[in-house]
A = this chain, B = another copy of it.
Amino acid sequence: MTNPTIKDVAKKAKVSIATVSLVIHNHKRIPQKTKAKVLAAIDAFNYYPSHSARGLVNRKSGNIGFVLTEDHFLRTEPFYTQIFIGTEFEAHANEFYVLLTTINPNFRSSDKLPRFILERNVDGLIIAGKVPLLFIKKINKFNIPTVFIDYLPPAKNSITVLPDSFKGGELATNHLIQYGHKEIAFIGGDIEHPSIIERFNGYKKALKDAGIKIDERMIDIEESYPGKSNGFSAAERLINKNKNITAIFTCNDAMAIGAMQYLKDRGIKIPDDCSIIGFDDVVSDNVIEPELSTIRIPKMEMGVEAMKLMADLLKKNLKESKKVLLPIELITRESTIRI
């Protein structure tokens, strides 16, 4: 048989289609006897309501759009992938589908918006990572409930899920301080990014609390993007400027890997000559040597949390501004050592 419809079920149960619908929605008007009869028919046909028909009358798509920039999606580290998995997982629980799409990181105002926005095929939007302001402005016109992950848009009334970067920065730096380090460098990229800047602030706070003077020469935040090769360049500048560094805190693992490469090339032994700690915990399967100490971000959990907020938001039990900080965790591995 072809796809069974509510009519087939109604006929079989000898009731009207309205009754079938009411049963499906657990309407109190329907007594047990009728309910059972209808449910039996539903079962017999293995009937499920058509998504499109429902969408049409309810003016809901049942879909949540997941947006991130192409470059983020193509990154080899599974950072945003893990976040996506989290949303996907929680979507199950809330009976949503997740539609993923990428946008150009250099979004121009003439660029088309993702099709699912134009077609009103999503009930909500989850935006992961930094996206162009122009994009945000343009979608604002559509008034779609939106949750951000790992990015705090400038407009102050957003719902956002972030890792606790400030605490992470403190934690990483304190870890080095407790290991006896005093000459602790910081490497950052894309310093405007709210997460990065907080890590930097955490670094400065920890140093200050420990009575260590913040030295401009120990800080390199020039790079515009926190990637591996930029980590290499930053380490190069830093070391050339400053021979007595005993530890480096990089704003993420990718930069840490680049920095490690430079140190190795230069003959500086890790961790014996120099400790290094990253952020994110994305280096897969301990494949790098020495294994990298880092601050773990709960990536899947961030996705889960975002989708939970979305569900609340769509049920209207959420005001339009909320910032959720997810706890981070220090992971001590081989790249940091007591001095």
In the complex, what residues of B have CB within 8 A of residue A88's CB?
Answer: 100-102
Binding-face segment, A16-24, A147-155, A282-290, A324-332: A282-290
Docked CA distance A76–B280 (Å): 14
Question: Would B101 and A99 count as touching, CB distance under 8 A?
Answer: no
Docked CA distance A81–B100 (Å): 12
Question: Would B97 and A98 count as touching, CB distance under 8 A?
Answer: no
Question: Would A51 and B95 count as touching, CB distance under 8 A?
Answer: no
Given contacts A51-B55, A55-B51, A56-B56, contact A76 B120 (CB under 8 A): no
Docked CA distance A279–B49 (Å): 45
Q: Is A37 an interface residue (CB 8 A)?
A: no
- Least distance between A102 CB and chain B CB atoms (Å): 8
Question: Would A56 and B48 count as touching, CB distance under 8 A?
Answer: no
Q: Is A44 an interface residue (CB 8 A)?
A: no
- Least distance between A295 CB and chain B CB atoms (Å): 18
Docked CA distance A99–B64 (Å): 11
In the complex, what residues of B have CB within 8 A of residue A183's CB?
Answer: none
- Least distance between A92 CB and chain B CB atoms (Å): 8
Docked CA distance A287–B76 (Å): 11
A78 interface neighbour in B3, B49, B76, B115, Cβ under 8 Å: B76
In the complex, what residues of B have CB within 8 A of residue A48's CB?
Answer: 118-120
Docked CA distance A116–B81 (Å): 21
Given contacts A283-B287, A284-B77, contact A51 B121 (CB under 8 A): yes
Docked CA distance A100–B87 (Å): 11
Docked CA distance A63–B61 (Å): 12
In the complex, what residues of B have CB within 8 A of residue A63's CB?
Answer: 97
Q: Which residue of B lies closest to A257 (CB)?
A: B287
Q: Which residue of B lies closest to A49 (CB)?
A: B119
In the complex, what residues of B have CB within 8 A of residue A257's CB?
Answer: 285, 287
In the complex, what residues of B have CB within 8 A of residue A53's CB?
Answer: 52, 56
Q: Is A85 an interface residue (CB 8 A)?
A: yes
- Least distance between A90 CB and chain B CB atoms (Å): 13
Q: Is A73 an interface residue (CB 8 A)?
A: yes
- Least distance between A123 CB and chain B CB atoms (Å): 12
Q: Is A74 an interface residue (CB 8 A)?
A: yes
Q: What are 21 A-B residue pairs whose CB atoms fall within 8 Å in the complex?
A: A50-B56, A50-B119, A51-B116, A51-B119, A51-B120, A52-B52, A52-B54, A52-B56, A55-B55, A56-B56, A63-B97, A74-B85, A88-B100, A88-B102, A92-B101, A95-B115, A97-B99, A97-B115, A98-B99, A257-B285, A284-B284
Known: A50-B120, A98-B100. 4 other contacts (CB 8 A): A97-B121, A228-B285, A284-B284, A288-B288
